[in-house]
Amino acid sequence: MLKVKTNHRRKILIATAIFMVLLLGLVVRITYFMIFQSDYYSKKAVDLHQRERSIKAKRGRILDRKGVVLADNITVCNISVIHNQIKEKEKVIQILSKELQLSEKFVRKRVEKVSSIEKIKSNVSKSVGDKIREYELEGVKVDEDYKRYYPYGDLASKVLGFTGGDNQGIIGLEVKYDEKMVGEEGTILTLTDARGVEILNKAEERIEPVSGKDLVTTLDYNIQSYATQLAKQAMETKEAERVSILVMNPQNGEILAMVDVPEFDLNNPFSIPEELGVVEKEKEQEILNGIWRNGCINDTYEPGSIFKIITTAAALEEGILTTSQRFFCPGYIMVEDRRIGCHKYGGHGSVDFTQGIQGSCNPVFITLGLNLGVEKYYQYFCDFQLKEKTGIDLPGEAGTIMHKKENMGPVELATVAFGQSFQITPIQMATTVSSLINGGKRVVPHLAIKSQKEDGTDVEEFSFFSKEGIVSEETSATLRLLLEKVVDGGTGANGYVEGFRVGGKTATSQTLPRNSGKYIASFLGFWPADNPEVLALAIVHKPQGVYYGGQVAAPIVRQLFENILPYLEGM
């Protein structure tokens, strides 16, 4: 009997000891959580009873070089509902359907959906958002947001680009400098009970958004506007397929204007032009991509006789050409078994080189190309960086399409020498000529100058690499003198501006296939001829009727210069 009681007591003691150990462990554990993990679990408790809504950051603006706002923001509202906070469901459905002009079925589906928060409509005008606020509907949230707005519609559309529904850049500068302009989102934190219903009289906690930085560009609103006007005018009067105009500073690569009409409405970029009629859904994106393409950088073309500037520079550098050197043009030249004609059917006869470039004589430049030979010509083509991209700060730059050196024979060399049988971009053409007439410095064409805060405080200045010694100063000076003579008495006479020393070169190239009867007319001009500060390239694609560069494109640059040169002189 005694033994049974002893065993029973031992069991009680063991059970008590185990209980005390467990109790001690629990006390230690609770103490650990209360003292060492209190911050963590307090945050978890708060998170459990907080509802989070984002506040969009104000996107940085895009400005021209003088501070004109080219891309701005307008305040809009996002309308959302919180299911378990709605007390008057039918009233909410009726009012939101009416004010947002949405079907009752659409609104009901979202109001009745059991979720933490359900968006009804984004980008609602502020006036409508304010009106919905006035109803004081429980469970309905009206949060302010920002939407991109372009004050000048289609101006510089293919340069500026646009943003999507998430306010992020899609094309152009908007995507290239997206990280600079996007900013940091803020947050609205609302305290709720265990059922997810907001606790009355508890203020919302706000983490304010950080606005993005403004982008200051090299564009000049006045020059861009006038260049666009001229391009649209040429498009209409010449019934052209497309017209591109580039205006840049050849000394540093700053782009003052970049036009490629037809442009598109930046405030409605996904709209298909009415003239295209009804478009199949699967073809919409393809059409939009075509509308958004910037022909100045995304597309290549045969440059034609403007490229004779490059042939001249190579020959001068190689020492096989002087301005008084004589040539004979009977109206054609035979290269192997190929007869290549001059644009002047009867020929130019005996001319010196100055007269040859003034008349844009094909046999003169073919002769220079052949005298250089494939090896040397190809080397200069590479030395002038024509096979590289310019590095412009816009997405999607196309590269040069050129013969492989091993595939170049005398005929290919002859056609390249006067600007045919290969393709480059307009920006490459303008940049390369800039490097040949500015003293020999290869510049990088660019649009960004700096980023800054909205109050004008500078944040970051952008720099672009340049390379010296592309050609000698002597070659550059000779080119400038020759090209001034092209405008003063040569094929570029229609680019002459009274009272200003202008240099330039015309071009007329035939599109592929050669028998299409379609041409590209272009003219490159610069001022002042002795020390260029501005260069302009106008390209008219497939003009109807007269198609020569000197008659179609040169007048465009003349009119442009007549208006902007006095303006630039006063800057």
Report the alpha-carbon angle 482-485-486, nearest 5: 90
Q: Are the beta carbons of 239 and 126 closer than 8 angstroms?
A: no
359 near 351, Cβ under 8 Å?
A: yes
Whether the bond into 151 is cis, omega within 30 of 0: no
d(CA 561, CA 526) in angstroms, rounded, equals 9
Judge whether 305 counts as a catalytic residue.
Answer: yes
Three-class DSSP category at 441: coil
Contact by Cβ (8 Å): 310, 290 = no
Proportion of the chain in helix, strand, coil states, percent, rounded to 5: 40, 25, 35
- As a whole number of angstroms, the distance between CA 397 and CA 272 comes to 24
Copy the structure tokens of residue 155: 């101006």
| CA atoms of 208 and 428, how far apart (whole Å) | 45
Q: Residue written as tokens 């945050």?
A: 43
Cβ–Cβ < 8 Å for 163, 58: no
Selecting among 305, 360, 421, 476, the annotated active-site residue is: 305
- Report residue 34 CA to chain centroid gap: 56
* Type of residue numbered 59: R
521 to each of 223, 332, 463, 490, 558, how far by Cα in Å? 22, 22, 34, 16, 15
Q: How many residues does the chain have?
A: 571
| Sign for the pseudo-dihedral over CA of 507, 511, 514, 518 | negative
Are 362 and 417 in contact by the 8 Å Cβ rule? The answer is: no
Question: What tokens appear for 49 in the block?
Answer: 């009873």
Residues that are catalytic: 305
